Amino acid sequence: MKRELIQKLHQSFEGCAHNDNGVEYWLARELQTLLGYTEWRNFLAVVSKARIACEQAGQAETDHFVDVNKMIGLAKGAQREVDDVALTRYACYLIAQNGDPRKDAIAFAMTYFAVQTRKQELIETRIAEWERLQAREKLTLSQKELSGVLYERGIDSPGFGHILSKGDAALFGGLTTQNMKDRLEIPEGRPLADFLPAITIKAKDFANEITNTQVKQQDLQGEPGIANEHVKNNRDVRRLLTDRNIYPERLPAAEDVKKLERRIKSEQMKLPREAPKLGKTPRR
């Protein structure tokens, strides 16, 4: 996610925060707009799921979701009372969790409401970490899909491994998968991708997607032919990176995704205990 977009979203979410006697909260109808929902009834369904998730997490739903009423302006100065919901930071986080993480506003909200401090720099870091986890998960899926397609063409697990290894050598400028593991000091038995930076993970995933599409479209058969295509695709992706002075084999190792996943999960579990509760209906 680009820094300019993070800054814009940060300002929008900051501007919608309310405070009642030192208790921070957001209003559902304002959050609805921030998250890109046009229909209140559709957004209310997401809020309902978040309420259930709150109870399932062992938290009192009424501590984090408070039904309120507010007046909205109509034509010619008229006003009408509408239902709304006051939400704690934890409630907003649960709502974001039930949204589509592919949407930038949802992805931002998941991080924004998960961190206790609202410093933009920390949010940028957390979003980058989250996007790396998402990229790693997507790479796993693309490899599984490619493995299934090749299995249908008679290529077994060792053959699939050979194809991936040749692809890695093409992406990393001639260095094999084991060469890269040695260079990055990766523990024995752990996948290389668990320690790669996000851009390299995405590069491997992109090459997988291209190979997968070509195998299907061209009905490629046999390990040699498919391996050649996969090597070519990885070389093309490498060229795209090196033309921009990015050399995958020179990038330092990133944090173990397993440790990163555990750390983020641990921080998220602390949120309901640390988040202030509304306690009473905020004044509107």
Does residue 11 sit in the same domain as residue 68?
Answer: yes
Quick check: pTM over 0.85? no
Does residue 157 sit in the same domain as residue 65?
Answer: no
Three-state SS annotation for the chain = CCHHHHHHHHHHHHHCCEEECCEEEEEHHHHHHHCCCCCHHHHHHHHHHHHHHHHHCCCCHHHHEEEEEEEEECHHHCEEEEEEEEECHHHHHHHHHCCCCCCHHHHHHHHHCCCCCCCHHHHHHHHHHHHHHHHHHHHHHHHHHHHHHHHCCCCCHHHHHHHHHHHHHHHCCCCCHHHHHHHCCCCCCCCHHHHCCHHHHHHHHHHHHHHHHHHHHHCCCCHHHHHHHHHHHHHHHHHHHHCCCCCHHHCCCCCCHHHHHHHHHHHHHHHHHHCCCCCCCCCC
Domain presence at residue 123:
no
Does residue 101 sit in the same domain as residue 210?
Answer: no
Domain presence at residue 41:
yes
Does residue 247 sit in the same domain as residue 172?
Answer: yes
Does residue 15 sit in the same domain as residue 47?
Answer: yes
Instruction: State the total domains in the chain.
Output: 2
Q: Find residue 82's DSSP bridge partners.
A: 70
Does residue 36 sit in the same domain as residue 107?
Answer: yes
Does residue 92 sit in the same domain as residue 157?
Answer: no
Domain presence at residue 242:
yes
Digit-by-digit pLDDT tens for the chain (284 residues) are 777 888 888 888 888 888 877 778 889 999 999 998 989 989 999 999 999 999 988 888 888 898 888 756 555 555 677 889 999 888 998 999 888 777 888 888 888 887 755 566 677 788 888 889 999 999 999 999 999 999 999 899 999 999 999 999 999 999 999 999 999 999 999 999 999 999 999 999 999 999 999 999 999 999 999 999 999 999 999 999 999 999 999 999 999 999 998 988 887 666 666 566 676 555 44
Domain presence at residue 122:
no
* Boundaries of domain holding 159: 128-253
Does residue 98 sit in the same domain as residue 170?
Answer: no
Domain presence at residue 155:
yes
